[in-house]
Amino acid sequence: MLLWTMRALFIVIIVAVLLVNLTVPEISIEKGRANFYAILWSGLILVVAAFFVDFLTPKKSLAALAGIFFGLLVGIVVSWALTQVLDMIIDIYRISLSPTAITAIKWMVGICICFIIITIVIRTKDDVRFVIPYVEFTKQTKGARPFVLDTSAIIDGRIADLYKSKLFDSPLIVPRFVLNEIQLISDSADKLKRNRGRRGLDILKEMQTNPTIDITVDDTVVPDIEGVKGVDQKLIPFTKNCGGRLVTTDYNLSKVAAVREVDVLNINDLANSLKTIALPGENMKVRIIKPGEEPQQGIGYLDDGTMVVVEEARGKIGKDIIIAVTSSLQTSAGKMIFGKFEGYTGQ
């Protein structure tokens, strides 16, 4: 949006400069036709050249205001140098143009140069480096590092509850390609996938309408992910580029991100760390839902979704029983509790 605003402003300024200079009496009268056409054609050629360079420049990202200021500063310096060259050319070839025409051409050269440099800088990568021999200055990230949400974290929905509890206050970023994947899931022919996708869109809408949550959909084009297929393959370089931390519930993606030195917040790990610890010998109530893999095993679940494997409970499916905890296992993929049958509830 900012880039198109700059383009519109550039056109308005160029048109204004042309109108002001082409309506000067010494230019508009018949004997000043050479100056008139010199200003007109130089303006048109410079505008076309500026837009040609603008649209051929690769799209990258940069902080907008800093980019405009830096581009304007460099553009003014380059414009001044080119106007000196223009004066030399006019003197050497003794081009007969009025001072008004020369001034108008200089103005248009300066405006076009500033526009080209600003658009190039706006499209430049965010971590621009200024290199002096043996010294390198790199961008330092200020403020809270953002969280980059992947598809699984959005559909899971617990990230919204975490932010409502004000446990986190870092800004949230949803890459455009993640939003596109959620939309594809919500349009799936499979009913289960379609419901999951629509749930993800509803959660995003809920977070966007919450004034306490800073969430944005990022359209930044990262050169490292151009041509890369698969959302998971794009997420890691995208997170690196914005200096953020990846939020996911995908166990394998967490491991790959860790190998590639990207900070990860696995919501399952966070949930597991907040669960009540089941100590060996402790009694708890559980309903047996299905048989286990081993003989005489029954499977049940706690209210938070923790799986409970109970010995001697295969024949007690559909019943609420009391178990004695024997051990527990906690991993990034989830938590499991092992126990043995002690008796029925109400005994």
Strand, helix or coil for residue 294: coil
* Burial class for 218, CB neighbours closer than 10 Å (0-12, 13-18, 19+): buried
- DSSP codes, 90-121: HHHHT----HHHHHHHHHHHHHHHHHHHHHHH
Residue-level length of the chain: 347
Residue 58's closest CA among 119, 107, 132, 17? 119
277-344 topology per CATH: OB fold (Dihydrolipoamide Acetyltransferase, E2P) (2.40.50)
Residue 285's closest CA among 229, 335, 346? 346
pTM: 0.46
| DSSP conformation class of 31 | G
CA torsion angle for 53, 57, 60, 63 (degrees, to 10)? -20
Structure tokens at 135: 């010294």
- Show pLDDT as tens, one digit a residue, over the chain (347 residues): 667 787 788 788 878 877 777 676 665 555 456 676 777 777 788 778 777 767 665 554 445 556 667 777 887 888 888 888 888 888 888 777 777 778 878 888 888 888 888 777 766 644 444 433 433 444 444 457 899 999 999 998 888 888 888 888 889 999 888 999 999 999 988 888 899 899 999 999 999 888 888 898 888 777 667 667 788 888 888 888 888 899 998 888 888 888 888 899 888 888 777 766 677 888 888 999 998 888 888 999 887 678 899 998 888 888 888 999 898 876 655 678 899 988 887 65
The CATH number of domain 147-273 is 3.90.110.10: no
Q: Start-end ranges of CATH 2.40.50.140 in the chain?
A: 277-344
What is the pLDDT of the chain when averaged over all its residues? 79
d(CA 250, CA 129): 34
Q: Return the bridge partners of 19, or none.
A: none
Over residues 122-140, the pLDDT tens digits come to 666 444 444 334 334 444 4
Q: Return the bridge partners of 337, or none.
A: 308, 328
The predicted structure's pLDDT at residue 143: 55
Over residues 36-60, the pLDDT tens digits come to 677 777 778 877 877 776 766 555 4
The predicted structure's pLDDT at residue 128: 45
Between CA 142 and CA 146, with CA 143 as vertex, the angle to 5 degrees is 105
d(CA 140, CA 276): 40
Q: Return the bridge partners of 87, or none.
A: none
Give the H or E element holding residue 265: strand 264-266
Residues 6+ apart with CB under 8 A from 300: 286, 287, 288, 289, 307, 308, 310, 313
The predicted structure's pLDDT at residue 201: 92
Q: Start-end ranges of CATH 3.40.50.1010 in the chain?
A: 147-273
